[in-house]
Structure 1
Amino acid sequence: MFSHMVVGSNDLAKSKTFYDSLFAATGGEAGKTDAMGRLVYAQRGSRFVITKPINGDKATAGNGGTIGFAMDSPGEVKAWHEAGVTHGGTSVENPPGERQTPMGRIYLAYLRDPDGNKLCARYKFAD
């Protein structure tokens, strides 16, 4: 459904360290800086972009918003979460683990990035 997601950052170098670790933990490549100075990640047919706000205002995290990343296994979720915490992220919500939901069994982990954006890694079991 989604082609790309964009979040704002006040410190692109700090964001690069954080997001490079998340994508590396799941087999992705380091982010590339595009011609507009944005940090771009491409993986599994989607793009994730980090940028300083175009209007020049300070970047702030969206209240109530979460960006979810699809994972291929519970181990990949764990590696993603561990990499994020190690590189400037903050673990939020419940600890990473399996949950029973109306969608079936899933394995989740939540982080806030260094700018406060809420992220989720999710693996859905094929029950």
Structure 2
Amino acid sequence: MFSHVMLGANDIDASKAFYDATLGALGVRPGRVDPKGRVIYMHDGAIFLLSKPIDGEPACHANGGTIGFAAASPDEADAWHAAGIANGGTAIEDAPGIRDGGFGKLYLAYLRDPAGNKICALHRVVE
């Protein structure tokens, strides 16, 4: 459904360190920096990028927006969450755990990245 996801970042180095750690906990290789200074992550056919805003204005987070990263297990989601906190992220919402909603049981862990973007790790619990 998506070709890619790109987030704005004011401090590319801090954001790269954060995403290298959190995505690394999900088995993703460290991002590479292209000639325009964007950080590119590629994994299982998905592309995730970080960039300073092209318009020169400060990057800001989307109020109400969330980007979810797939986790293979609750342990992987917990490792993602811990890596994020250790690398400049902020824990938000409830502690990582199972939520029972309209899509079945989900193991979710939420963070804000160094630029304030809301992200989560999601594992679908199979019963």
TM-score higher than 0.5 here?
Answer: yes
CA displacement at 1:44 relative to structure 2: 2.0
- Which amino acid is 1:107 matched to? Y
**Offset from partner CA, 1:81-119 (integer Å, 9 cap, x none):** 000001000000100001111111110000000000000
Mapping 1:39-118, distance limit 5 Å:
39-118=39-118
- Which amino acid is 2:65 matched to? G
What TM-score results when the alignment is normalised by the length of structure 1? 0.96
CA displacement at 1:34 relative to structure 2: 1.2
What is the Cα-based RMSD across aligned positions, in Å?
0.8
- Unaligned runs of at least 5 residues, structure 2: none
Give the secondary-structure state (helix, strand or coil) at the position aligned to 2:93: strand
C-alpha separation in 1, matches of 2:3 and 2:73: 22
1:6 and 2:14 aligned: no
- Which amino acid is 2:7 matched to? V
CA displacement at 1:56 relative to structure 2: 0.5
C-alpha separation in 1, matches of 2:84 and 2:3: 23
Give the secondary-structure state (helix, strand or coil) at the position aligned to 2:72: coil
C-alpha separation in 1, matches of 2:76 and 2:44: 14
**Offset from partner CA, 1:39-97 (integer Å, 9 cap, x none):** 01111210110000000001111111100111111111000000000100000010000
Query: More strand per residue: 1 or 2?
Result: 1
1:37 and 2:37 aligned: yes
CA displacement at 1:3 relative to structure 2: 2.1
- Which amino acid is 1:3 matched to? S
- Unaligned runs of at least 5 residues, structure 1: none
Give the secondary-structure state (helix, strand or coil) at the position aligned to 1:17: helix
Following TM superposition, where does structure 1 have runs of at least 4 consecutive aligned residues deviating by more than 3 angstroms? Answer: none
C-alpha separation in 2, matches of 1:5 and 1:111: 17
Identity value in percent:
50
